[in-house]
Amino acid sequence: MSQLKLTYFDIHGGRAEPARLALAIGGIAFEDHRFAFPEFAEVRKTTPFNQVPTLHVDGVQVTQCDAILRYVGKLAGLYPTDPFQALLCDEVTYVVEEAGVKLGPSFRLTGDAQKEARLALVNGSMPVYLAWLQNQLIAHGGEFFADNRLTVADLKVFVDVRSLSSGRLDHVPTDLVERVAPLLNAHMQRVANTPAVLQYYAKFSANI
């Protein structure tokens, strides 16, 4: 088995969290290298494009969160082998990532500027992609997004919906998902109650 080192902020969310979950669910040993926000200025000097997450595979550094997620998903048996089901899985992960890219610039704003930027998303693109995700979930059986089983697509959506509903994103209503796409909340709870996910977060219960 390859030696894996996943580097990301010391938070329970964000772009590395689906990969962390996939590795944990698959029982894949890896170094979970977490760092505090003040350390990012130094960490980014060692990464491609000055960004995280990165994954070291036997010392080789790889960037791009969805490429990392697909790779560890394959290691963990959480990525479809059927080409069409893999396409459906990728479609969902890319839609969620695109939504995150739209939200990203608002983290660099404060005060009224941040409020204006986030409300524009809340009243614009957020409901559109959430409704689309719910429709995809329904179209593929109502429980999972691809392959009729838990895949990395489910983990990607789980982390995103969990964040939107957490109350940690100023100016994003905690009931947005429930109002727009309630089946995504049910999906989030289903993933959260997966034994391996429960076991993973139990390690951090004091900090969540």
Please report, for the domain that includes residue 33, its CATH number.
3.40.30.10
The answer to whether position 28 is within a domain reads yes
Domain termination residue (choose one: 23, 53, 77): 77
Same domain? For 88 and 150 the reply is yes
Q: How far is CA 107 from the centre of its chain?
A: 17
Same domain? For 67 and 159 the reply is no
Cβ proximity of 174 and 166 under 8 Å: yes
Q: How far is CA 89 from the centre of its chain?
A: 13
Same domain? For 176 and 133 the reply is yes
Residue 208 contacts by C-beta under 8 Å, 6 or more apart in sequence? Answer: 12, 201
Cα-based distances in Å from 152 to 105, 111, 190? 25, 35, 14
Could you tell me where the beta strands, DSSP code E, fall in the chain?
4-9, 31-35, 54-57, 60-63
The answer to whether position 155 is within a domain reads yes
**Percent of the chain scored above 90 by pLDDT?**
97
Confidence of residue 204 (pLDDT cuts 50, 70, 90): confident
Same domain? For 21 and 97 the reply is no
Residue 100's pLDDT is what?
A: 96
CATH assignment at residue 188: 1.20.1050.10
Same domain? For 146 and 180 the reply is yes
Mean pLDDT of 112-125: 97
- Per-residue buried b or exposed e for 83-119, using 16+ beta carbons within 10 Å of the residue's own CB: eebbebbbebbebbbebbeebeebeeeeeeebeebbe
Residue 11's pLDDT is what?
A: 95
The answer to whether position 42 is within a domain reads yes
In terms of pTM, does the model score above 0.85?
yes
Rounded distance between C-alpha atoms, residue 148 and residue 154, angstroms: 11
Domain termination residue (choose one: 77, 99, 128): 77
Residue 1's pLDDT is what?
A: 78
Task: Considering only residues 207 and 82, tell me which one the structure prediction assigns the higher pLDDT.
Answer: 82
Domain termination residue (choose one: 45, 77, 109): 77
The answer to whether position 199 is within a domain reads no
pLDDT at 206 over 60: no
If you average pLDDT over every residue of the chain, what do you get? 96
**Structural domain tally of the chain?**
2
Same domain? For 93 and 73 the reply is no
Residue 143's pLDDT is what?
A: 97
The answer to whether position 112 is within a domain reads yes
Token code pair at residue 85 = 């089901």
Note down the domain range covering 8.
4-77
Same domain? For 65 and 93 the reply is no
The answer to whether position 183 is within a domain reads yes
Please write the tens of the pLDDT for every residue from 136-188: 999 999 999 999 999 999 999 999 999 999 999 999 999 999 999 999 999 99
| Residue 45 C-beta-side C-alpha neighbours within 13 Å | 3
pLDDT at 207 over 90: no
Same domain? For 98 and 123 the reply is yes
